[in-house]
Amino acid sequence: MSLRGANNSDGSYDWTGAIIDSAIMGAITFLSALGGMTAVGMPTSGSLVAAAIAGGTQFFITLAVKRQLREPE
């Protein structure tokens, strides 16, 4: 996984790799948030929703970083 994403040999952006990398990071965040909330005694449906929000947010943040949506300094 590269921080800046990757280009295909024809110069187009590698969306497949970026989405897979983002999904992996989102899943890690989801599972760690859910595990952490369960470990402290919060196994409710609310913790499942909170973990899903955290995982989804991480997915889109990783995808945005890979697409370099921020102007270079």
3-class secondary-structure state, position 51: helix
In angstroms, the Cα distances linking 63 to 5, 23, 31, 42, 71 are 9, 9, 19, 30, 15
Tokens 């599972």 map to which residue? Answer: 31
Question: Quick one: average pLDDT of 40-53?
Answer: 88
Q: What pTM was computed for the model?
A: 0.76
Instruction: Dihedral sign for Cα 26, 27, 29, 34, please.
Output: positive
Q: What is the longest distance spanned by two Cα atoms in the chain? A: 51
Mean pLDDT over the full length of the chain: 84
Number of DSSP helices (H) and strands (E) in the chain, helices first? 2, 0
